[in-house]
Structure 1
Amino acid sequence: MKTAIIIPCYNEAKTIRKVIFDYQKTFPEADVYIYDNNSTDGTDEIAKAAGAIVRYEYKQGKGNVVRSMFREIDADCYIMTDGDDTYPAEDAIALEEAVLSGNADMAIGDRLSSTYFTENKRPFHNTGNVLVRKMINFLFHANVKDIMTGLRGFNKEFVKSFPITSKGFEIETEMTIFALDSNFSIVEVPIGYRDRPEGSESKLNTYSDGIKVVKTIIGLFKDTRPFAFFSTISAVILLLCLGFFIPILTGYVETGMVSKYPTLIVISAAATIAIINFFCGVILSVLKKQHRHNFERFLNSLHYLTKINK
């Protein structure tokens, strides 16, 4: 069974050598791939000297890098980590075991249950992680402890069927939602976390990347749960219409006259929009179900081909 260590990198010259050596020592039979994303500090040359397989992705953004890695690399187990030396390599052994044993399609390294909140020095990142976790678990009826961790393990079926649309750091959120929506098995393993060493700077922007993550969650909720999304919007609009309509109805009962024709016209138009919106959700949910059936057939074919190749 072949394991590939895949590491997206952008300006990680301070730490990449240690990360490569740690994973080579922990996984001596695995290939270590570094995908350089337009680094300007010599990350790629350091990685080559350390014995890693270096490839390049010129479209900026972690999502773009992961897309190339998933397309180009062939393995039975994929361990994805960051090049900033925040995840101990030995903790990834449990992720590999979960994937290769067949217990997990995606194994997640859970930082938030261990040292993340004490090690991470960026308080808004702590708050953001908790909010994103609660938001996804509420919308998708799940109980995932760490949504945005960068240490994960995947099997081939997950990697080759994952349609990546994210370009940046929202890729981890997209992975989690895809796994939940597609009924892939998820195993979470508590892992250690240590903050970046001095001189190594994070590429994350708390606010802009946070907004992208929230937009990704809302967009994927619309795409994967269309009936819930559109019916919720319809319910809100109808409740607002009812709130404005009750005084008009009360006045009509008392006086026999409609005193607010403009309001009534707007309410009627809004109620019509709400009804149309509701049936859009019904139609899209049927299409989503058909897509689900097609996706399951694709997975069956992929599983069969994988079995033959072995």
Structure 2
Amino acid sequence: MNSTDGRTLELTILMPCLNEAETLATCIEKAQGYLERSGVEGEVLISDNGSTDGSQEIAQRLGARVSAAPRRGYGAALINGIEAARGRYVIMGDADDSYDFTSLDPFVEKLRDGSDLVMGNRFAGGIEPGAMPPLHKYLGNPVLSFIGQLFFRPNVRDFHCGLRGFNRARIDELDLQTTGMEFASEMVVKASLARYRIDEVPTTLKKDGRSRPPHLRSWHDGWRHLRFLLLFAPRWLFVYPGLFAFLLGAIAVGTLAFGGVQIGGIGFDVTTMVYAAALCVIGYQSLLFFWLTKLFATQEGFLPASERYRSIVAKWTAERGLLIGLGLFGIGVLIGVLQLVRWGGMDFGPQDAAEVVRVAVPSSLGIVLGFQTIMMSFFSGVLTTPRREQKPESVIEA
């Protein structure tokens, strides 16, 4: 049955809406039909994102509840709708008549069984001809779903399906923030990082009933989703490529410091050493960025902090970092001084250029890495300095 009073219901069927007058009535009637047929006590909620085509009036006339989202954006509309929902569970889906609101039983069954998030899988349920552009069907969705699965292991094959259900209280705990199209990814990523139970059920996708183009912009929104996934996976963005670059560069510099190397008839000497040192610096800087990003993200609640990470942070201090940085810096300076002393023993006369570079590169590398470590340690000290919580805006004095 449909309900509009203030009591808690079992299910809210939530639809974000921005000028969906062509298809909104059909979606509402399908959702209401499902509630009537299934006997689920629920409501149909339209989170309006500033429609100017009369969508609000259509929804109200059909008995759906309408909540105005104060900010524009797909995520903003859904955040507003989740906050306004009266259901213990929420099933969200676009109001363009592409998703089947008459077949929500698999979602409800999984939610009743204890799932925190239930994702629809369009590839398992069926995609009608013309319902999804080939670029999305064969490249965008498969690639982004593969990356999402690789980074976060949510065990879903359709990472960006718009029809999904969730336990409202559990999703509230994730403190979702993004107001754009990234919201769909943020929900899955944070639920995965929080070790929520995530299930997947087949669903169908048909060609939407609108005469106008969809709000989605393929390349722009695809890049935004990919960027979001990378930012929430700092190990893949910083650690793995950084560690590879650092180790490869350091090994090459260390090897060539003792003389040139021949591999398969190709000679590697001081020129290679210079580029290897640059690679080493880039890799080391990437690792430092990871540490600072992780510190900031966990301090601000963007990323969860594992027990292992907490124990490392507890042992790490800015002072220890400073000592390591000063040690590296000192080694670099010492190598440079020894080279200067050796040159002095030659009455500062001409030297072999290759041999000079062979010593200067490790010296410079130590100085640069040491200085970077010192600066990182100071900055990490700023991030980890205990501070009191900021006063709410309402009580901050002008």
Distance 1:58 1:93, change over 3 A: same
Q: Deviation per CA, 1:192-230, whole angstroms, max 9, x where unpaired? A: 1111125153110001111110111111112xxxx5654
Distance of 1:216 and 1:13 partners within structure 2? 31
2:102 counterpart letter in structure 1: E
| 1:86 aligned onto 2:94 | no
Q: Any conservation in 2 of the 1:88–1:193 contact (CA below 8 Å)?
A: yes
> Which of 85, 108, 111 is residue 99 of structure 1 equivalent to?
111
> Which of 105, 111, 129 is residue 122 of structure 2 equivalent to?
111
Distance of 1:213 and 1:285 partners within structure 2? 18
Q: Equivalent residue of 1:134, what SS?
A: helix
Q: Equivalent residue of 1:116, what SS?
A: coil
> Which of 192, 203, 216 is residue 215 of structure 2 equivalent to?
203
Q: CA deviation at 1:291?
A: 11
| Higher RCO (C-alpha 8 Å, min separation 6) | 1
> Which of 20, 31, 37 is residue 49 of structure 2 equivalent to?
37
> Which of 123, 132, 135 is residue 124 of structure 1 equivalent to?
135
Distance 1:249 1:139, change over 3 A: same
Q: Equivalent residue of 2:162, what SS?
A: coil
Q: Equivalent residue of 1:34, what SS?
A: strand
Residue identity (%) = 24
Distance of 2:75 and 2:297 partners within structure 1? 27
Deviates more, 1:207-216 or 1:72-81: 72-81
User: What's the TM-score, normalizing by structure 1?
Assistant: 0.80
Q: Deviation per CA, 1:166-198, whole angstroms, max 9, x where unpaired? A: 221221111111111111111111011111125
Distance 1:2 1:292, change over 3 A: farther
> Which of 132, 156, 173 is residue 144 of structure 1 equivalent to?
156
Aligned residues: 286
Q: Equivalent residue of 2:19, what SS?
A: coil
RMSD of the alignment, in Å?
3.1
Q: Deviation per CA, 1:20-78, whole angstroms, max 9, x where unpaired? A: 01111111331111011011211111111111111111311111111112223232111
Distance of 1:158 and 1:236 partners within structure 2? 38
2:306 counterpart letter in structure 1: K
Distance 1:48 1:132, change over 3 A: same
Distance of 1:279 and 1:220 partners within structure 2? 14
Q: Any conservation in 2 of the 1:99–1:155 contact (CA below 8 Å)?
A: yes
1:251-270 pair list within 5 angstroms: 251=259, 266=278, 269-270=281-282
Q: Any conservation in 1 of the 2:246–2:281 contact (CA below 8 Å)?
A: no
Q: CA deviation at 1:264?
A: 7.2
User: What's the TM-score, normalizing by structure 2?
Assistant: 0.64
Deviates more, 1:195-204 or 1:128-137: 195-204
Higher Cα Rg, which structure: 2
Q: Equivalent residue of 2:87, what SS?
A: coil
Q: CA deviation at 1:289?
A: 1.8
| 1:10 aligned onto 2:18 | yes
Distance of 2:63 and 2:197 partners within structure 1? 33
Distance of 1:261 and 1:9 partners within structure 2? 59
Structure 1 gap segments, 5+ residues each: 294-310
